[in-house]
Amino acid sequence: MTTGSSTSPRPAASPTAERGGLLLENVTLTLGDGDATVTALDDVTLEVAPGEFVAIVGPSGAGKSSLLAVAGGLTTPDSGRVLLGGVDITRASGREKARHRREKVGFVFQTGNLIPALTALDQLRLALDLAGRGSDPRELLDRVGMGHRAGHRPHQLSGGERQRVGIARALVTRPAVLLVDEPTAALDRARSDDIVALLAKQTHEAGVATIMVTHDHDVLHHCDRVLSMVDGKLSAEE
Amino acid sequence: MFLAWRELIFARARFGLMGGVVALIAILVVLLSGLSSGLVNDGVSGLQRLPVTAFAFAEGTKTDSAFSRSTVTADQAQTWKGRDDVADAALFGNTLVNAKATHADGTETPIDLALFGVEPGSFLAPAGLGDEDGIVVSQTVLDEGVNIGDTVVIDRLGTRLKVVETTGDQRTFGHVDVAYLPLRTWQRIHAGAGPDDEVREGAYEEATAVALRARDGKEIDLSGGDAAAGTTSMTLEDSFGASPGYTAEISTIVLIQVFLYAISALVVGTFFTVWTIQRKHEIAVIRAMGASTGYLMRDTMIQATVILTVSTAIGFLLGVGGGSLLTRTAMPFDLEAAPLVLAALLLVGLGLAGAAAAVGRIVRVDPLAALGGQR
C-alpha cells in the first residue's frame, strides 16, 4: 500500500446511518427483444451495507455488468426495486437518475476511463463540478498515493496510476455507493493487489457501499463478501 | 466551462486548424463586403446622395432601362408637384457622355461623365450650380486630375462646359463620375444639339424622370400619382436596379457570400460532429458520472463560441488591414462598418448553428458504453 496517512481524515460521526448503502430487491432485467431475449438479471436481491466491500465473480455474460448498470441507475430493471443511500431510484426519470448518479454513485471503470484533456487533479475537480459538493481533491489524491502526480494527464500515467486516480475521482463526491467494473483487467498481479487493497481501505474509511465485479480470483481476499453470478442468478461463493 | 476550457487547450492544434479555416473565410467575407460596398458606391452613390424619395419615369418603363429610355414632360412634373403627399417634384435628366477635359496648361484628359441635368435652385441642385455652361462634378473627377476651372468638351457635339465646383464627395452612377449641369444645357445635349445647332421642338419640355421628395414623415402614394400623371414610378432604392450592371454585380457578390456562409457553417458543423464522435467514449464516461446532456451540450457550444469569435475577429482584423490597402487603388472597394458587423454576426451565428446541429449527437451517446472494456 502506498496511501498517505493511516488515520482517517473523515469526520468521526457515523456516515453509515445517513447514507444507507445499496439495496437491490427482486431485480429482474431482460435484454434484447423478440426471440433473442436474454435474462441478464434473474430475481436478484442484494444488500450492501455502508463500509462493506462485496465482490461479484462469474463468467463473461453472466450479468455482472448489468448488475452494475442497474445499481448505478444507467439501466432501468423490468421489475424489482433499487435503493441508493435509502432513496428509491427505480422509477426516476433520466434527468433524476443523472442527478442521483452524480450525488450518490461513484464509478470505477476497467482502465480508469479518465478524460484525456484533464490532469489527475482536474479529473477530481470535474466530478466535484458535476456534483456541486465533495471533499478536498488534493487531500484525496494524497490518500490514494497520487499527490505527486496531480498535474499529469492520463497519457503520462501508468495503468496502476490511472486506476488510482479513477478511484479518487469516484470517491471525491463522497458517494453512498461505489461501483467498480473489472478494476484489474489491465494490470499485472502486484499492481492488481495494490489497487484492490486500496479499494478495500477506502471502502472502510469512507463508509461507502462497494460492489466490485471481477474475474480476478487472486484479489478476493481483500473483500468482505464474495458472491458468484451465473446466468443472471446471484449466489454466495463456496 | 470547466471542461470546455481544458479541452480547448488540450486539443488546441485541432481547434486551431478549424479556427484557421474560419479565419480565412472571414478574410474573404471582409474582402467581398468591401467589394460589395465599393460596387454599390461606384454604381449608385450619385443616386443615393440625391435628396429624392422616388422617381417617376415614362409610363411602362422597365427598371433595367429606366434612366436610358424614359422621357417625361414638364406637365407630368407639374401634376406630381400638385399632389398632397409630394413636398417637391422636379425634372431630372440623366445621360452618359464621353468628354475631354482641357487643363490650364493645354493638356487633355479623356473622361466619362454621367450628366445629371437639374434646374438650378431646385431641391436637386448642388451648391455652385447656376451658369449655363458651369458643371459641378463629383470629387472623383478631381481625383483623376481634372481641376476646377478646367474646360470639358463633350465629344461629337463640341459643347464646352466649365468645371465650377465639386460636390466634395464620391458621386458616381454606373461606375461613371457624375457632373451636374443646368437642366436647359442638359436638354440641349440630350437632344443632340451642338453649340450652333437648332434644338428640336419640345426638347426643353423634356427630361428623363420626375424626381419626387415626400413630405416629412409621409409616404408617397406612387400608384395614385402614376394614374394622375401617366408615369411609372419607383422608389429611389428600386431605381438603383436601373444603374448599368448594378443588379448583376451585386447578385454575384451576394451569391459568393451566401456560399461562404454556408461553407463556414458546414465546416464548423463537420468539425464538431467529428469532435463529438472522437469523444464518444469520454462522453459516455462523463454521462455515467452523472452529467446531464445539457451540461455536455453547453460545454461544446462554449467551445464553438470561443473558437468562432476568436477566429472571426482575427480574420476580420487581417481582412480590414489588407482591405484598407485596396481602398487606395482604383478597385471599387470601401470598408463600411454596418455591413462588416452584419457579416461578423452572420459568420458567428451560422457557425453556432452548425455546431448546434452537431451536438445533437451527444444525446445519442449511451452512458452504458462506459462499462466494459472498449478501450
Residues B306-344: tens digit of each pLDDT: 999 999 999 999 999 998 888 877 788 888 889 899 999
Q: Return the residue matching grid coordinates 499527490.
A: A147
Strands B151-154 and A209-213, by their bridges, are unpaired
pLDDT digits (tens, 9 = 90+) for B19-71: 999 999 999 999 999 988 888 888 889 999 999 999 999 998 887 778 888 99
Q: Is B226 in the A-facing interface, judged by CB distances under 8 Å?
A: no
- Report the DSSP beta bridge partners of residue B183: none
Cell 401634376 sits at which residue? B79
Quick check: B130 and B120 in contact, CB under 8 A? Answer: yes
**Which residue does chain A place closest to B367, by CA atoms?**
A74
pLDDT at A18: 44
Which residue ranges form the domains of chain A, and what is each CATH number? 21-236 (3.40.50.300)
Which residues, in sequence order, are CB contacts of A87 under 8 Å at separation 6+? A100, A104
CA–CA separation, A112 and A121 (whole Å)? 14
| SS3 (DSSP) at A23 | strand
C-alpha B88/C-alpha B118 separation (Å) is: 13
Residue B373 has its nearest CB partner, among A127, A169, A182, at A182
CA distance A70 to B261: 47
Does the structure's ipTM exceed the value 0.85?
yes
The C-alpha angle with vertex B202 and arms to B201 and B204, in degrees rounded to 5, equals 110
One DSSP character per residue, B78-97 reads HHHHTSTTEEEEEEEEEEEE
* Interaxial angle between packed helices B293-326 and B12-48, expressed in degrees from 0 to 180 and rounded to the nearest 10: 50
Residues contacting A220, CB < 8 A, separation 6+: A55, A57, A214, A226
Q: Chain B within 8 Å of A31 (Cβ-Cβ)? A: no
pTM for the whole structure: 0.80
CB A225 within 8 A of CB A54: yes
Residue segments in chain B with a per-residue pLDDT below the cut of 50: 374-375
B47 close to B346: Cβ distance less than 8 angstroms: no
| Per-residue confidence (pLDDT) for residue A5, from 0 to 100 | 40
Please state, in angstroms and as integers, the Cα–Cα distance from residue A3 to each residue in A162, A202, B132, following that order. 15, 10, 103
CB-CB neighbours of A183 under 10 Å: 25
**Is B369 at the interface with chain A, CB within 8 A?**
no
- Range among A7-11, A207-211, B247-251 with highest mean pLDDT value: A207-211
Q: Is the pLDDT of residue A15 over 60?
A: no
Set of chain A residues whose Cβ sits within 8 Å of the Cβ of B303: none
Residue of A109, A122, A127 with shortest CB distance to B370: A109
Q: Do A126 and B286 touch (CB under 8 A)?
A: yes
